[in-house]
C-alpha cells in the first residue's frame, strides 16, 4: 500500500466491511455508510468539493434497485466505491506522449518537491523502455542543483548538458542543438523552483516552454503538501499548460487527500508516483489499481508485472504450485530472498496481495537482515526446512551456533516465516471474495 493512504484505507475498509456483513441493504444502510465515508475522506484532507461529487455519485448508483436486490449488495457497493475512486483519480493510466523527432520533457515545480531526483527517475524509466535520454540542467539558481543532476547522470551513465555561465534559455537552446552529439533521443529538463510561486519564476518557465516546445510538461508535486498542492497545480497549468503530474513522497505518512483531489481539481492526470529516493522508486500511476489498494484489495497486476520483470520464471512457476498446494516451506522462503532483493522488501510485495496489506508492518526484509536470515536457514537440516514445527529448543540452539546468531534471532525468523506461510496458505481462499486473480501468479 502507499503508506500515504494507510489511515484512509483502514477507515474505508472498516466501513465497507460492515456493509458486507449484512445480508440485505436498505437506503438507510447506504446513507449511513456514506456519511462515514464522507467523514473519512474529509479527515484525509480530500478537497471538500471532490468529496461532495464523489459521495453523490456513489449514492446515486448504490441505492439503485439492481444493487438493493442483488444477492451480494455489500460487494456491489464496494465495487461502486472502487470505480468512483478510480474515476476521481483519472480512471485509466495516462502514458507519456513523446511523439516529436526529439521529444522534450520539461519538469517543473516548487523548490523541495523533488524535481531533480524525479528527472533522474524519469531518465531511468525511459532508459528501461529503450530510450537514451539526456538530462538538461536548467536550474542555475539552487546551490548544487547542477552538481546533483550531474551525479545522477554519472549514476545512470547518461549524459548531462550543463553550462554554469549561461542563462536557462541559452542552455535550453544549446541542449537541443547538441542532442545529436550525445546520441540522445529525448531530453529531460530540470527547471528552477522557488519556495513559493512568483512572477519571475513563472515568466522564466514560460520563456523556456516557448524555446523548447516540450512534448510533456510535468508538475512535480509533493504529496505531503496537502490542499495547497491542488492550487499549485492550477497556477502552473494556467501559465504553462501542464500535461501531467508526478506525485512525490507517496511513501510518506501524511493524510493523502491531496493525491485524491489533484486530478479532479486540476483536470490533469497523475502519470507517476514517487515511492522513495532511489532511482528505481518511480511507479506508473494506475488509478484503478490505486483505488483497489486504498480499499485493501491489493494490486496483483502491479505485482505480476514486477515479477515478470525481475523473477526467474521457472522458480516463479514452482513457487506458484507450492502456494496452491499450501506447501510453502523455509527452503522456498530462502530461495525467494534473492528475488525479494530485486523486487523490493517482502512487505512491499505482500502489500500488493489482496487481504494481507493490513498485516505486514513487521515483514519488511532488506539488506543485512536478509543475509542474517540466509545464514540461519542454511544452518538448518533439509528436514527442518521442510517442517519447521520440529525445531525445538535444542535444535534452535544448534542452528544459532551454526549461523553465528542468537537464539532470539532464530525465534524471530520462525515467527516471521509462520506469518508469511499463513498468508500464502490463505491466498487461494481470496477467489471467493475477489474472483480469479489475474496474471502470472495463477492464484
Averaged pLDDT in 10-residue chunks for the chain of 443 residues:
63 76 74 85 82 88 69 73 83 89 95 92 94 96 90 96 93 94 96 87 94 96 76 89 89 64 83 87 84 63 53 61 69 70 57 49 59 90 91 94 93 87 64 40 34
Taking CA atoms, 257 is separated from 47, 229, 294, in Å, by 7, 10, 11
pLDDT of residue 162: 93
Spatial distance between the Cα atoms of 441 and 264, rounded to a whole number of angstroms: 34
Give the global pTM.
0.67
CATH superfamily of 104-285: P-loop containing nucleotide triphosphate hydrolases (3.40.50.300)
300-434 has which CATH code? 1.10.260.30
Sequence ranges of the chain with CATH classification 1.20.120.140:
3-88
pLDDT of residue 443: 33
pLDDT of residue 81: 83
Sequence ranges of the chain with CATH classification 1.10.260.30:
300-434
Task: Please name the residue that has the C-alpha cell 447506504.
Answer: 30
pLDDT of residue 441: 36
Task: Identify the CATH class of 3-88.
Answer: mainly alpha
What is the DSSP pairing of strand 104-108 with strand 282-284? unpaired
Spatial distance between the Cα atoms of 146 and 162, rounded to a whole number of angstroms: 7
* Nearest Cα to Cα of residue 189 among 99, 263, 118: 118
Amino acid at each position: 500500500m502507499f503508506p500515504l493512504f494507510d489511515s484512509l484505507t483502514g477507515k474505508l475498509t472498516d466501513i465497507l466491511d460492515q456493509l458486507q456483513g449484512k445480508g440485505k441493504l436498505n437506503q438507510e444502510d447506504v446513507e449511513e455508510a456514506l456519511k462515514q465515508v464522507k467523514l473519512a475522506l474529509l479527515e484525509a484532507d480530500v478537497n471538500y468539493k471532490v468529496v461532495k461529487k464523489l459521495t453523490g455519485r456513489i449514492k446515486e448508483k448504490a441505492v439503485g434497485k439492481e444493487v438493493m436486490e442483488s444477492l451480494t449488495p455489500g460487494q456491489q457497493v464496494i465495487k461502486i466505491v472502487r470505480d468512483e475512486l478510480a474515476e476521481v483519480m483519472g480512471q485509466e493510466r495516462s502514458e507519456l506522449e513523446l511523439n516529436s523527432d526529439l521529444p522534450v520533457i520539461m519538469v517543473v515545480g516548487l523548490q523541495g518537491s523533488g524535481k531533480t531526483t524525479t528527472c533522474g527517475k524519469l531518465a531511468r524509466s525511459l532508459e528501461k523502455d529503450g530510450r537514451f535520454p539526456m538530462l538538461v540542467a536548467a536550474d542555475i539558481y539552487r546551490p548544487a542543483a547542477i552538481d546533483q543532476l550531474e551525479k545522477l547522470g554519472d549514476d545512470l551513465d547518461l549524459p548531462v548538458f550543463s553550462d554554469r555561465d549561461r542563462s536557462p534559455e541559452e542552455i535550453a537552446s544549446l541542449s537541443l542543438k547538441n542532442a545529436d552529439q550525445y546520441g540522445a533521443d529525448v531530453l529531460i529538463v530540470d527547471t528552477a523552483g522557488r519556495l513559493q510561486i512568483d512572477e519571475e519564476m513563472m515568466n522564466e518557465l514560460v520563456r523556456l516552454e516557448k524555446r523548447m516546445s516540450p512534448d510533456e510538461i510535468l508538475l512535480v508535486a509533493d504529496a505531503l503538501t496537502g490542499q495547497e498542492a491542488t492550487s499549485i497545480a492550477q497556477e502552473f497549468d494556467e501559465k504553462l499548460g501542464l500535461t501531467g503530474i508526478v506525485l512525490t513522497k507517496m511513501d510518506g505518512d501524511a493524510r493523502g487527500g491531496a493525491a485524491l483531489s489533484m486530478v479532479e481539481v486540476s483536470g490533469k492526470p497523475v502519470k507517476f508516483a514517487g515511492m522513495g529516493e532511489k532511482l528505481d522508486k518511480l511507479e506508473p500511476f494506475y488509478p484503478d489499481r490505486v483505488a483497489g489498494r486504498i480499499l485493501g484489495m491489493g494490486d496483483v497486476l502491479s505485482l505480476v508485472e514486477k515479477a515478470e520483470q525481475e523473477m526467474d520464471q521457472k522458480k516463479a512457476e514452482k513457487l506458484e504450485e507450492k502456494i496452491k498446494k499450501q506447501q510453502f516451506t523455509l527452503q522456498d522462503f530462502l530461495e525467494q530472498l534473492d528475488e525479494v532483493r530485486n523486487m523490493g522488501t517482502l512487505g512491499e510485495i505482500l502489500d500488493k496481495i489482496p487481504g494481507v496489506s493490513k498485516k505486514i508492518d513487521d515483514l519488511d526484509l532488506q539488506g543485512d537482515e536478509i543475509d542474517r536470515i540466509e545464514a540461519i536457514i542454511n544452518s538448518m537440516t533439509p528436514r527442518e526446512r521442510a517442517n519447521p514445527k520440529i525445531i525445538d529448543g535444542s535444535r534452535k540452539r544448534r542452528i544459532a551456533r551454526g549461523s553465528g546468531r542468537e537464539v532470539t534471532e532464530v525465534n524471530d525468523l520462525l515467527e516471521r516465516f509462520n506469518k508469511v506461510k499463513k498468508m500464502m496458505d490463505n491466498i487461494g481462499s481470496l477467489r471467493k471474495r475477489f474472483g480469479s486473480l489475474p496474471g502470472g501468479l495463477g492464484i
